[in-house]
Structure 1
C-alpha cells in the first residue's frame, strides 16, 4: 500500500481550551510520511480522530503503520473542525479510526470521503448510556444528556482492550502479510490493560467514600467498572455551562456527603471545580479523561491512567 504524503497547513481550531485561551491557532507540521524513513516504509496509512484512538492504533500497528492524529495536542477534541487538507488526509488514508457521535466533523468526512476506510470503534464494544445510576444519581436533578451514549469508553481498560483487539483484526485485513505482528501487538496491549484493570480493582477496593464529583460527565465507564458514583456538574459536553440550580445541587451534595475533592480536567477550565471547592471547603485535583494530551505532557495512556489511580486513592481515602 502507498502512504500518501499530505502537507498540513496552519489551521484554526475554534473554541479550543488551553490555559484559559478561548481560541488557539495551531500550526500542524508535515506528516511524518513526508520526511520520515520509518513512515515512508509503512505498509498502512492510518488517521486517528483523537488521542486514545491514535495511541491504540500506534501500539497495535507498530512499525507497519503510520498514524496521523486529527486533533492537535492541547485542543479539546469535541471542538474539532477539519481543515481542507485534513479532509484530504481522511480521503487518502487506508484506515480511519473514529468514534461516531464524538466529533461530528469527522463523522461527516468519513461518511462522504472514506466510507470504506472508516473503522467505527464502537463495533468492538458496547457503549453505555449517560444516565446510568453510577454516572449521576437521581439526587442531582440537572441535565446530563439523558439517553445519549457516553463516548469515553477508553476509561474502562477492559473495553479499551476490546478496541485494541478489533484494531488488530482490522489491520490484519488490510495488511495480511503482517497479521501475526498485529495480533501479537494487540494481545500485548490487552495484557497491559488487564494489569492496569487489576491495579484499579485492588487500589479502589476499600475506600472511605466512593463519590467522585467532576466538572463534566466523562467518567461513567470508570465509575461503572470500579463501583464508584460520579456526580457531574454538567453532562457529556464540557462546553455546557451549569445552571445555577445544578451548581447549587452539586454544592449541597458535596456538603451533605462530606466530599473532600472536586475533580477538574486538563483541557477544560477549572473554574467550576474551584468555585464549588471554595463554597464547600473541599480541595481540587486533576482527573484526566484522556480525551487528548496537553502540549507539555510527556506521558501516555498508561502513565496518565496510573496517575489517575493514585489521585483517586488519595482523594477517596482508599487503603
Structure 2
C-alpha cells in the first residue's frame, strides 16, 4: 500500500552552499524600477499552476513543483532545485491543510518573502474561513508568514476537513480572483488584464457548475463510492450522495489498512446494488481499494478515475469538464 507520509525537505551541504552563492536581493521583492517583464508564479501542483496561467496570461511565468499525474503530493520529497525555484518566486500558490506541507519547508529554507495564496482558506468548510481577508497581501519585502491566517494556518492537516479543495468550483473561483488581485499589486500596469482574465475564468467555472446542475437534475441522491475523499466536493456539487464509509476513505487517504469490519461493510454496500458509480484515485491505493474496485466491476458498477494532478495536455477547465462528463456518462451507463 502507498504510505502517505509527509517527507521533510532534505538539502545536502553542497546544495545549500550553491544556493547561498546566489547573491543579491531576492526576486520576490520586485520593485517598480526593475520589475521583470513577467511575474514568476510558483505553484505546489500544476492544478494551481494552470489556474495561475489562465489568470496571468502572457504576463506570468508559472512553475509548478509537481506536474506528474503519478506523483502523490502527500509524499513529495522536495529538492534543492525546488528551493531555488521558490527563492525566485514573485507569487506562491499552495493548497494548504497539510496537503502540500513541503511548500512551507521550502519557503523557510529559501527565505522567500513572496506573498502566498493558500487555497483551503477560501473553502467554506475550512475552520475560520469566514475570517479570511481576501485582500490581505504582505508589503514589499515583508514575509508572508508575518500575516495572520485563518485558524489552522493553512499548513497542518485538520481532522474531518477535506483538503482537496480544487474539486470545489466555488473555492476555485475565489482562488482565481485572489490570484488576479495579487498579480495586479505586483504589476499594476496589467491589473486590468488580470481582472479580465479572472472574470473569463470564473465564467468558465460557471459552465462547470451548469454541467453539475444537469447531473443533479437527473440523478440527485444517487449513491457514489469514492476510495478516498479527493472527488467528494465535485460529487456533492452534483447533488450526489457519498455513500462511502468514512473509515474506509480516511484509512486509504492516510495510507493505513482499512479495518476488516469497514472493508466488509463496504463490500456489502457494493453488493447491495445501491451504488451507481465508483470513483478511484489511481495515484494512491492498495489491496483494499483493489478489492472494492474488483467487486464493483463484478457487479457491473461503472468505475472511473479522478486524479489529483492534471493529465497531460489538459487545463484546469478542460480537466474538470472531462471529469464531470465521465461522471455523467457513468450514471447513465
Compared with structure 1, are the counterparts of its residues 203 and 234 closer, same or farther at alpha carbon in structure 2 (3 Å cutoff)?
A: closer
Call closer, same or farther: CA 1:175–1:208 in 2, change over 3 Å.
closer
Q: Does 1:244 align with 2:242?
A: no
1:288 alignment partner, one of 276, 296, 306: 306
Unaligned runs of 5+ in 1: 1-13, 17-40, 130-144
Uncovered stretches (5+) of structure 2, i.e. residues with no partner: 5-35, 128-156
1:178 matches 2:190: yes
Quick one: distance in 2 between partners of 1:59 and 1:240?
37
Task: Look up the match of 1:71.
Answer: 66
Count of residue pairs brought into register by the alignment: 264
Q: TM-score, normalised by structure 1?
A: 0.73
Instruction: Tell me the residue number matched to 2:151.
Output: none
Please, what TM-score do these two structures have when normalized by structure 2? 0.71
The 5-angstrom pairing of residues 140-289 of structure 1 reads 147-207=159-219, 210-232=222-244, 233-235=248-250, 237=253, 239-269=255-285, 272-279=288-295, 281-282=298-299, 283-289=301-307
Partner of 1:121: 119
Query: Is residue 2:63 matched to residue 1:81?
Result: no
Q: Which residue of 2 aligns with 1:34?
A: none
CA distance in structure 1 between the aligned counterparts of 2:3 and 2:57, rounded to whole angstroms: 33
1:303 positional shift? 2.3
Q: 1:298 to 1:270 in 2, by over 3 A?
A: farther
Equivalent residue of 1:237, what SS? helix
Q: CA RMSD of the aligned region, Å?
A: 2.8
* Pairwise CA distance, 1:44: 0.6
SS across alignment from 2:217:
coil
Tell me by how many angstroms 1:248 deviates.
1.1
1:61–1:171 CA contact under 8 A, matched in 2: yes
